[in-house]
Amino acid sequence: MQNLIVALIVAGCTVYAAWALMPSALRRALALRIQHWPWPQFVGRHVRRAAQAPTGCGCDGCDAKPAQQAGEPGTKTIQIHRRTKSHP
């Protein structure tokens, strides 16, 4: 009986860790497929929320349109400077 309880706990932790570490695009695609399964209410709510999540990571760089040019209103310009080797 103890082995069964431990196995269920380990299986649950494995599923939770895989879900939490999964890339958001893959998590959303999986949630879209399994959202209509007969889940308990607390699991179904979490899966439906994941299925409706916006794509991307939510940072400012992911939703930038490729047609935007630097200097247009609403765009951000990032400058990258190379490191120079300093010889003492």
Tens of pLDDT, residues 50-62: 888 776 555 544 5
pTM for the full model? Answer: 0.52
In the chain, where are the structural domains located? 23-57
pLDDT tens digits along 12-24 = 999 989 988 988 8
Contact (Cβ atoms closer than 8 angstroms) between residue 35 and residue 45: no
CA 20/CA 68 separation, integer angstroms: 33
Q: Give me the amino acid identity at 7.
A: A
Please write the tens of the pLDDT for every residue from 6-52: 999 999 999 989 988 988 888 888 888 888 888 888 888 878 888 88
| CA contacts within 13 A on the Cβ side of 47 | 18
